[in-house]
Amino acid sequence: MGGGSADSVPPIERAQMGEGGCFLETAGVEASAAPRAPRASEASSFFRKVRYLFPLLLEVPAPSLGVPLQVTAEVMNVGVAHSEVNPNTRVMNSRGIWLAYIILVGLLHVVLLSIPFFSIPVVWTLTNVIHNLAMYVFLHTVKGTPFETPDQGKARLLTHWEQMDYGLQFTSSRKFLSISPIVLYLLASFYTKYDAAHFLINTASLLSVLLPKLPQFHGVRLFGINKY
Amino acid sequence: MATAAEQWVLVEMVQALYEEKEELIEEWQPEPLVPPVSGDHPALNYNVVSGPPSHNIVVNGKKCVNFASFNFLGLLDDPRVKAAALVSLRKYGVGTCGPRGFYGTFDVHLDLEDRLAKFMQTEEAIIYSYGFATIASAIPAYSKRGDIVFVDRAACFAIQKGLQASRSDIQLFKHNDMADLERLLKEQEIEDQKNPRKARVTRRFIVVEGLYMNTGTICPLPELVKLKYKYKARIFLEESLSFGVLGEHGRGVTEHFGISIDDIDLISANMENSLASIGGFCCGRSFVIDHQRLSGQGYCFSASLPPLLAAAAIEALNIMEENPGIFSVLREKCKRIHKALQGISGLKVVGESFSPAFHLQLQESTGSREDDVKLLQEIVNHCMDRSIALTQARYLEKEEKCLPPPSIRVVVTVEQTDEELERAARTIKEVAQAVLL
């Protein structure tokens, strides 16, 4: 990708914010600047911070160009040679994994439904809670990789969520995995008829699985839990 | 640690950055492809050797006695070794054309690994096809980011590259100074007590050489083993110079000190010195060595050792096992020339008396390294004129972590007769007196 006007850079996401009605674009920039428009005096220092990341700015990553491109480009590389340093970063982009995830949640729900003692509200709350518990354990607790990576253990202290797409935020998989507990929560709220006790349990469970997904919580370990 | 989250960037700022990019491209000046180098750089004035670097070496057309090649047991020119290599050459051809995992494993490789494991009395051994790559692949296979390695300052360049590749925390301790190492280990212990959860996932290693190539001294292995058990660190022992030299049967520095080989976690050596082959090996417990079969970069991603060299190494091992007397003979010769070279005015002998590779350093340095190197090179040239082939110890000066002072490295082999040793000592004395005074 060469130089040229910024309009030629394909935008990943357009969000209209209140500040002067300008379009904001996302870029994978490892800068310590706060996410607000810096004033002219600090613009130069900001430039200096991001100067060495020119290639990153210009190479806007492809996966978010559009859904059709993603489905054909990303394939599950099982049993073939690949140059991916850490395959964990690409697992949730593999072909068919979103469908498998949905089917798995559906299977969990059907198994719970087949237990004769549980009423429908209890089953939905249980589905929601068990799904969120499993998601918390696999995405936000277990760290590192089950295989050796050629980068001498760069991801040894990172959870799977933090490893996804090498830390790039707001990718499609991350959005999918953030929305699925919300969808489950809405369904559970409906089927429990907004009962107070169920509401408390479901909301607490949803929060426990949504908070770690925020970009602000990337790499954060509260009270030193799960740090090493 | 974690990468920072994505940041939002204004379109105007991105445009300004593009303009700045154009400016940077305009003002960039390329560096010359070849940096200017002085005419007397050693790489431009090399000596040409015709024929094998055996006991009598032909340098620049002049026949000299070889005091520079690491041919400790004289197996480079041994007829039995050459015959075994020729037989293997006719059977297998020259190269293996593949790494160990991809049709590059031959029965001679497995044989050699078996023989080495039996010789060193360990469970398993693994062969690398290049001596430098042996320890440089072994260290990063076990030590990763966040692990701690305590290494001697005089460690050779291969160890330094292995440590660099491992991305671990390196703690250097003064050469052969066990008090310094204990101090570092104690400090680490205090850190560990402050943060026990981090300490539980941190691996600690001590990397030492049996006989140091840069100084010719021996490592104090009994104290090291005591420290290992006290502070719970693993020892990696690099025995390139001590394999086939020290010990009653040539098994290296563990036999020399009488330490059980199970106390050392990994022994690594290259076969390019005593065994007069190419490549290197690591030996230890199966649990440890087997890991390198998938994680040793030099093992998985390099072509395997040519079978003729593996066969030559097996024959060399046979010879070593048949005459265990050569090791004490070699050590006697080392002691003799060490004694004979004492008392040269201007040069001091650095190294153990039984070390076959020791250094002659200037007693008082002139102040600049280039002048020292020039002075030593004069001595070497004069010795070469009197048909004693010596060499200076060369280093990549910008890349070494702790650059040793310039020195002449003298190597003793079993093939050198007593007269030759006396003559060499006399020649060096006379040349040193002539040049340095």
For residue A44, pLDDT over 90 is answered with no
Q: In this complex, which of B2, B5, B145 lies closest to A152 when CB atoms are compared?
A: B145
pLDDT confidence of residue A78? 73
CB contact under 8 A, A25 and B165: no
pLDDT reading at A191 higher than 70? yes
User: Is A1 near chain B, with CB under 8 Å?
Assistant: no
- Whether residue A30 is predicted with pLDDT greater than 80 in this model: the reply is no
pLDDT digits (tens, 9 = 90+) for A116-155: 999 999 999 999 999 999 999 999 999 999 999 999 999 9
A135: tokens are 């998601």
Confidence of residue B118 (pLDDT cuts 50, 70, 90): very high
The per-residue pLDDT for B345 is 87
| pLDDT above 90: percentage of residues in chain B | 89
Residue A76 pLDDT level (bands cut at 50, 70, 90): low
Closest approach of A23 to chain B, Cα-based (Å): 7
What average pLDDT does this structure show over B167-172?
97
> Is B197–A227 a contact, with Cβ atoms under 8 angstroms apart?
yes
CA pair distance B18, B339, nearest whole angstrom: 70
Nearest chain A Cα distance for residue B262, angstroms? 27
At residue A32 the predicted structure's pLDDT band, cuts being 50, 70 and 90, is very low
pLDDT score, position A45: 46
Task: Report the alpha-carbon distance of residue A161 to residue A139 in Å, rounded.
Answer: 5
* pLDDT (mean) for B100-113: 96
Q: How far is B167 from chain A (nearest CA, A)?
A: 7
Mean pLDDT along residues B387-395: 95
In the predicted structure, residue B424 carries a pLDDT above the cut 70: yes
Check CB contact of A152 with chain B, cutoff 8 Å.
yes
Q: pLDDT value at position A8?
A: 43
Residue A7 has pLDDT above 80, yes or no: no
| pLDDT tens track for B413-422 | 999 999 999 9
User: What mean pLDDT is reported for chain A?
Assistant: 78
- CA dist., res. B161 & res. B155, Å (int): 10
To which residue do tokens 């209209």 refer? A16
B165/A152 Cβ within 8 A: yes
Give the model's pLDDT for residue B4.
53
pLDDT of residue A82: 83
For residue B253, give both structure tokens: 């520095």
Mean pLDDT of B282-298: 96
Question: Tens of pLDDT along B254-289?
Answer: 999 999 999 999 999 999 999 999 999 999 999 999
- pLDDT at position B299 is 97
> Cα(A61)–Cα(A169) distance, rounded to whole angstroms?
12
Confirm or reject contact between A27 and chain B (CB < 8 A). Answer: yes
Nearest C-alpha of chain A: how many angstroms from B154? Answer: 25
Separation between Cα atoms, residue B43 and residue B35, nearest integer Å: 14
Strand-strand pairing, B347-350 and A15-16: unpaired
Average pLDDT value for residue range B201-208? 96
Predicted local confidence at residue B44, as pLDDT: 87
Q: What is the mean pLDDT of residues B106-116?
A: 97
**Contact between B2 and A156 using a beta-carbon 8 Å cutoff:** no
In terms of pTM, does the model score above 0.90?
no
Query: Is 90 exceeded by the pLDDT of residue B290?
Result: yes
Percent of chain B scoring above 70 in pLDDT = 98
CA B245, CA B330: separation in Å to the nearest integer?
Answer: 7
Q: Which residues of B touch A38 (CB under 8 A)?
A: 13
Under DSSP, is residue A228 helix (H, G, I), strand (E, B) or coil?
coil
Hey, is the C-beta of B18 within 8 angstroms of any chain A C-beta? yes
Q: How confident is the model at residue B38 (pLDDT cuts 50, 70, 90)?
A: confident
Among B45-49, B98-102, B115-119, the minimum mean pLDDT is found in B45-49
Overall residue count recorded for chain B in this entry: 437
**What number is the ipTM of this complex?**
0.81
